[in-house]
Amino acid sequence: MAHVSFDGGTVPLEDVQENPGQYARRLERAKITPGFALCLCKPANANLRLVIRRYRSLFHLAGWPDDGHRHAPGCGFYKDPNRRPLPGGDDPKAAIVATPAGLNIKLDVSLTQRDVRASAGITTPPGGTRAGRRSATLLAFLQTLWASAGLHCWNGLGTTRHWGLCNAQLLAELGDAVVNGRGAQDVLHVMRRYQEADRAAINAEFDAFVAGLTNGSGAVRRGVLIGEVAEVTPTQYGHSLVLRQNPRKYYASPALFDHAAKTWPHAWKALGDRAARIVAALLVEKTVKGHLRIVNLALMLCSSAYVPCDSIHEVSMANRLVSEYRSFEKQMRLADGDDMLPDFVLRDTEPRTHIEVYGMNGVASYEERKAEKRELRRQRGIPAVEWDVDRTELSAVTLPEPVHRRAASLTSSQTA
């Protein structure tokens, strides 16, 4: 397990990420002097510095800018030099721009509303049409944030990932992020993992976020919540949604949930499925009575280790890959033209193996793309595993042995 060192001590990285409250004082001291922490994933003389970022009252460790490739491949701060850059790249007009201080995001939803009566309903003007800079949908924001925090990758070392770890990696990536010109710390709340020991601090932090949502003198100030959906229940007037990390209810109109069910059918159908998780970005505002109303939302289907997936079959595949300690990446479709990407890439074979999960057999456009992708892989000599969900059980799909296991079995057969 990777260790980090700061404030005169060495601790497991995961412990810091899952218990940020316990390390707040020590990280605060280290942020002042020497101003950084160290990652010990490589021999001591490698001297890999980590940025200590403050997000409200807590501190999170992030990789040093442009240093990701220097970490050991299993390290949480490792960034694959071959990984695809974020859409937008250096384009200053992109909706989401990575800066040294954190992300700068322009959402296509309004965070303030002057006229309360006009605020109901779904407000999704098409991205890219506003003067100057483009803007991102809540889903594009959620997916890009997930990818920039490296949560679409699995390093094959463990078999679980808790929400606490996701929270730490998301906040480290956000840093001093700016959302629609405002500090993310004021308008964006990533739910904390619930821990009895930190209950007071966790609740106080959430209450402070809610208190910042105001509804008075004709203006509404909204905020974005990111968390895992626990349940959606019909109510007298619509639906209520509860996030796993906090018992508070968020209310929405039937129209908004109809929209969600149609827009993200795979995530919607997986509600209540214990093999899957659904991460939500909720744009919320406070009603005059003090309830929290969802004005807009995005749902992202994930595997049980929070790897984003495009279908419930991909969830099964991702869960299997995690349980078999495979190192892999979910290829997230973040830009136009990304539909030629494979579903997953196994990173522990040489060369890397593409994994395709095929549903929707017989749909002409889908079959055509399938054939195109096969041809591209053939030309480039890329090995692939194809799982046709209509014909085969997942357990019958054969995956290539990872390089390290093959090497180990070669060594043992030589010495035998």
Kindly list the residues in this chain that would bind Zn ion in the complex (CB under 5 A).
39, 41, 71, 75, 77
Angstrom distance (rounded) from CA 80 to CA 154? 12
CB of 346 to Zn ion, least distance (A): 22
Measured from the CB atom, is 155 or 303 closer to Zn ion?
A: 155
Do you find a cis peptide bond into 126, omega within 30 degrees of 0?
no
Report yes or no: 75 and 147 within 8 Å, Cβ to Cβ. no
Measured from the CB atom, is 23 or 344 closer to Zn ion?
A: 23
Measured from the CB atom, is 11 or 294 closer to Zn ion?
A: 11
Looking only at the bridges linking them, the beta strands covering 249-252 and 239-243 are antiparallel
CB of 78 to Zn ion, least distance (A): 6
CB of 143 to Zn ion, least distance (A): 25
Cβ neighbourhood burial of 378 (10 Å; 0-12, 13-18, 19+): exposed
CB of 291 to Zn ion, least distance (A): 44
- Token look-up 């049409």 returns 129
CB of 12 to Zn ion, least distance (A): 12
CB of 155 to Zn ion, least distance (A): 11
Measured from the CB atom, is 39 or 389 closer to Zn ion?
A: 39
Angstrom distance (rounded) from CA 221 to CA 227? 20
Measured from the CB atom, is 142 or 149 closer to Zn ion?
A: 149
Measured from the CB atom, is 154 or 344 closer to Zn ion?
A: 154
Angstrom distance (rounded) from CA 206 to CA 191? 8
Side-chain half-sphere of 232: how many Cα atoms within 13 Å?
24
Phi-psi region of 362 (alpha: psi -120 to 50; beta: other; left: phi over 0): left
